[in-house]
Amino acid sequence: MSVCITGMGCISPAGINCAATLDGLQGDDAPGLTGLSETGQIVFRAPLDPAYDSGGRRHRSIDLLAQALDEALNDAGLNEISDTSRIGVCIGATSASFLNDMDFHRKLREQVLDEASLDRFFAGNPAEYVKKQLALGGPAMTVNNACASGTDAVGIAASWLNAGICDIVIAGGADELHSVSGAGFYSLGVTSQHLCRPFDRDRDGLNLGEGAAVLILETVESVARRKRISGMYVAGYAACGDARHITQPEPEGSGIERAIRKALHCAGLQTEDTGFINAHGTGTIHNDLAEGRAFARIFGGQCPYFSTKGKTGHTLGAAGAIEAVITALMLRRQQITGSCRYQNQDPEIPFPPAAAMKVAARYALSTSLAFGGCNSALILKYEGGAEQ
């Protein structure tokens, strides 16, 4: 697998675009707009550009997606597309497209559904929104696989390109803060009333966030035809299920270990080729312990890993896409920000996460874990010098 990444766009609680997001991960300040949910839990809000705020005419997840999409298309030089017949779209989401329209579900339950409500419900499907906006002729898929959705969307998009189904795929994830998701995590007792501390000894839960990220993926032939230059690639992807528990990962991280090893095999790599790991790292007891144990078995304490969710919150279906973009940006800069808000080592996690540091990395790994025992791993490759 070797698929070119020619454009990226991102809006997260850490920043309004790619550059601002990467900068927002520096230091100790709380990023973006931090507020409280209906249950009094800390949440991270994305600083949506007013130009993309529909004022409720569209779902907020679509507003966020539209902003990230425009940045990615501009970055890829695809503002004007003459032939869209072989361009597909694959977007990951959780709340978006089926949980974020409570009015629709209320009317459906009461059997008083009207055409306007039905139209708004279908307009909330992220992939269909992009396909309609750009008049794309390729396949369109919205991936709903909980917190692994964004990573899976990028992996599926890459498989379409490798199979010759498309020349270009618009891949990514989008999700908004929503009462359904908030209530669900609150009921599980895994949200924190403090700023979350992934991998820290004293971590006590996650903070929810929102955002969107888009990656423009292309075949090598398409890049050559368009006379573009791409030094970033999707090198490997894999997904594995452990199916042990409806919400918790397998305690030893066996599922994410299998996904990582399969992704490394897909990319033709050895473990020592991995320069760093952008972990799922939610700040919950079970997730961080499972990941930390898996990393120790695979990499033997030699590969720096970290989580960015201390600055972005957990953006659910958008998380894997946002973290893929962040991973690519760090590869370009050859520098990692370290694990946000980490202070104290957990004695049950074999080796601690990394602090901010310069790296000499050609490959990097981004991991995602989701409800139902779903585990996904994405490997990115960079060919080029460090950006300043």
Annotated catalytic residue 280: yes
Q: How confident is the model at residue 33 (pLDDT cuts 50, 70, 90)?
A: low
Q: How confident is the model at residue 225 (pLDDT cuts 50, 70, 90)?
A: very high
| pTM metric for this prediction | 0.95
């991998």: which residue's tokens? 199
Query: In Å, how far are 29, 119, 133 from 101, measured between CA atoms?
Result: 33, 11, 21
* Model confidence pLDDT, tens digit, residues 331-373: 999 999 989 889 999 999 999 999 999 999 999 999 999 988 8
pLDDT at 234 > cutoff 60: yes
Catalytic annotation, pick one of 10, 18, 266, 280: 280
Q: Taking phi first (over 0 means left), then psi (-120 to 50 degrees means alpha), and beta for anything else, what does residue 283 get?
A: left
SS3 (DSSP) at 147: helix
Which of 247, 283, 273, 242 minimizes the C-alpha distance to 259?
242
Return the DSSP state at 40: S
- What is the predicted pLDDT for the residue at 1? 63
Q: What's the CATH class of domain 3-380?
A: alpha beta
Catalytic annotation, pick one of 147, 166, 340, 374: 147
DSSP characters for 45-101? E----GGG--TTSS-HHHHHHHHHHHHHHHHHT-SS-S--TTEEEEEE-SSTTTTS-
Catalytic annotation, pick one of 10, 178, 314, 340: 314
Between residues 1 and 146, which one has the greater pLDDT? 146
Count of C-beta atoms within a 10 Å radius of residue 23:
15
CB 261 within 8 A of CB 237: no
Residues of the chain with pLDDT > 70, as a percent, come to: 96
- What is the predicted pLDDT for the residue at 112? 83
State phi, psi for 253 to the nearest 5 degrees: 75, 30
Helix (H) or strand (E) holding 42: strand 42-45
